[in-house]
A and B are shown apart, each in its own frame.
Chain A
Amino acid sequence: DIQMTQSPSSLSASVGDRVTITCRASQGIRNDLGWYQQKPGKAPKRLIYAASSLQSGVPSRFSGSGSGTEFTLTISSLQPEDFATYYCLQHNSYPPTWTFGQGTKVEIK
C-alpha cells in the first residue's frame, strides 16, 4: 500500500502570509493527487486535481505542484476565509484505491 505523509499537522499564520503544505508518497504516484479544503460541518471542497490543476471557481491564490512522491499546496496570500483544514488525496491506479493525508489545520496567528 502507498502511504501518504502530510505536513505540518497544523500551522498558525496571519492574513496575507504565504502558506505551504506538503504531502509525500511512499512511492511514485505520477500526478494522481488532489487537494481539499474542509470547514467544520461541511464536506471537503476540491481545490486542486491532477496535482496542479485548479478547480473551476477556486481563487488563483491556491496552487498545487509536484509529481512522483512530493507534492505541495501553496496559498500565496492567506485570506480570512482560508482558515480551515486541508487534506491531500492520493489515487492508486490498480486496483483503484484512494488514500487521504492526515490533514493540516490552518489557524489564525
Chain B
Amino acid sequence: QVQLQESGPGLVKPSQTLSLTCTVSGGSISSGGYYWSWIRQHPGKGLEWIGYIYYSGSTYYNPSLKSRVTISVDTSKNQFSLKLSSVTAADTAVYYCARAVVADPSSFDYWGQGTLVTVSS
C-alpha cells in the first residue's frame, strides 16, 4: 500500500521560503510511471495544483506560481520536495503531496494527509 507523508515547518515568516518534503513508502519513486505532485488548499477554499516532478527530475509548474516554485526529487531517500519563495499570508494553506499514474493521469490516486502551513510573523 502506497503512503505519502508531508513534513516541514508549520509556520513560515512572510518573505521567507516555505519548504516541505513528501516521503513515499510502499513504492519507489525511481521506478518511474508516476507524476509526483504538490497541491494546496487555502482555508475553507478549493484545491489548487502547484506542480509535479517525474523521477527523472523533469518538472512542470502551475503558471500562476511558476516564478516562486521549485520541486525537486531525492530518489535515494524516496522523497520529493517543494520550495515556495517569497511567501505572503496568501500562501497560508494545507499542502498535500499526491501521485498520478502516467498511464492514466486523469486523477491523483494517492494523497498525503496534508500539512497546514501558516505564513505569519
Show the binding face of A for B, using Cβ within 8 Å.
Answer: 1, 31-36, 42-44, 46, 48-51, 55, 87, 89, 91, 93, 95-103
B47 contacts A32, C-beta separation under 8 Å? no
Which chain B residues lie closer than 8 Å to A100 at the CB level? Answer: 46-49
B35 contacts A31, C-beta separation under 8 Å? no
Task: Return the chain B residue nearest A99 by Cβ.
Answer: B49
State the total of A-B contacts with C-beta under 8 angstroms.
Answer: 66
> Does B52 sit at the interface, judged by CB under 8 A?
yes
Q: A91-B107, A96-B35 are in contact. List 6 more A-B contacts (CB 8 A).
A: A33-B106, A95-B60, A97-B49, A98-B49, A100-B46, A102-B46
Which chain A residues lie closer than 8 Å to B35 at the CB level? Answer: 96
What is the CB-to-nearest-CB distance from A61 to chain B, in angstroms, rounded to a whole number? 19
List which B99-117 residues lie within 8 A (CB) of chain A: 100, 104-109, 111-114
A89 contacts B60, C-beta separation under 8 Å? no
Interface centre among A32, A33, A91 (most CB of B within 10 A): A91
A32 contacts B105, C-beta separation under 8 Å? yes
What is the CB-to-nearest-CB distance from B118 to chain A, in angstroms, rounded to a whole number? 16
B60 contacts A97, C-beta separation under 8 Å? yes
Q: How far is the CA of A27 from the CA of B107 in the complex (A)?
A: 18
What is the CB-to-nearest-CB distance from B52 to chain A, in angstroms, rounded to a whole number? 6
